[in-house]
Structure 1
Amino acid sequence: MQNMRKMAVAGAVVAVTAVSGCGLSQAITEQGNGHMKAVSYESGLEGKNDDDAKLPAWVPDGAQQVEEVIRTTGTERILKYRPAGTTLPSLCTSGDAEAAPPTLTADWWPAGEHKRTDKVCDGWHVAVEQDAVYAYRAESLLGN
């Protein structure tokens, strides 16, 4: 009887180890990296009218060629749009660049762009470049 109990425990340990080895670390890695979603819109207004969008209210309605990558398991975002004659709203103020680089990537996001952000718009760090406006919202524990 005791021998059967030892075999049952050993079998359970082997089963748990096998399951852990196959999927647990992969699930932890996936959870740690999070999930992302890319969206694009012809205008800021179109993006604001999309129920699934996370387009911030400060993006001008007339912004064009809007691209955003969203971390669906957190609050991190990167964003780009063509200003098309629009300006940032008055709620955007001068501010320090975001120190932490984004973990999200996109082929349209320039390397080191977070270091060039010199405006803050409702928690987003924003850089107005010659050809586009780039914005980055770092991961936040507050969920804003």
Structure 2
Amino acid sequence: MKGIVSKVALGVAGTGMAVAVAAVAIGPRVSEWYDGRHQEQATYDTGSQAKAERRSMPTWLPDNASSVKYLMSTIGDDRLLRATLPDGRLPSGCTTGLPGKSAHSVPMSLKAGWFPEGVAAKASGSCGHYNVTLTGNQLYAWQDGAAVQAALRAERPTKH
């Protein structure tokens, strides 16, 4: 009888160990799944198509931009955008120069295979609330939701 009890206890302990190992192994996948549930990604042929199909697409994106890729958080204002600009210049209304500190100090919460890591260190201007950099005719733009909300609060008049 003692041998049976030992085997049952060992089996239960082994099952507990297997569950713990499985939890460690799938933990990162669950986190990725959860984060992915709060993101929407889309590809558009042109800037005009992107703006017609997605209300959150920035209005400064030129209609003649091509190969537009867009990733947004559905629980905040974090955004990534990549587009090919035919003339290789920043869109009208954008400004050149180093953007605010938010471009460099806030780690990007969104990641996409088509958006290079470390691009924030190359920020060379801003378009609306987006920080941007232009590499040849390839525009990379990103916005940090917390920085956007802070800017919007600063733009609102205070009530007394």
The answer to whether the superposition gives a TM-score over 0.5 is yes
Residue by residue over 1:42-72, the C-alpha shift from the partner in whole angstroms, topping out at 9 and shown as x without a partner, is 000001101x442100110000000010001
- After TM superposition, what 4+ stretches of structure 1 lie above 4 angstroms from structure 2? none
Deviation at 1:126, TM superposition (A): 0.5
Tell me which residue corresponds to 2:71: 69
Tell me which residue corresponds to 1:142: 149
Residue by residue over 1:90-144, the C-alpha shift from the partner in whole angstroms, topping out at 9 and shown as x without a partner, is 4211242511231101101111001111111111000011241000001126286
The structure 1 residue matched to 2:138, chosen from 113, 132, 135, is 132
RMSD: 2.4
Tell me which residue corresponds to 2:113: 107
What is the count of residue pairs matched by the alignment? Answer: 114
* AA aligned opposite 1:57: T
The structure that has the greater radius of gyration is 2
Relative to total residues, which structure has the larger helix share, 1 or 2?
2
Deviation at 1:36, TM superposition (A): 0.5
Distance (Å, rounded) in 2 between the aligned partners of 1:86 and 1:60: 12
Distance (Å, rounded) in 2 between the aligned partners of 1:125 and 1:35: 22
Distance (Å, rounded) in 2 between the aligned partners of 1:139 and 1:124: 10
Q: TM-score, normalised by structure 1?
A: 0.70
Q: TM-score, normalised by structure 2?
A: 0.63
Distance (Å, rounded) in 2 between the aligned partners of 1:84 and 1:55: 19
Residue 90 of structure 2 is aligned to residue 83 of structure 1: no
Distance (Å, rounded) in 2 between the aligned partners of 1:107 and 1:53: 24
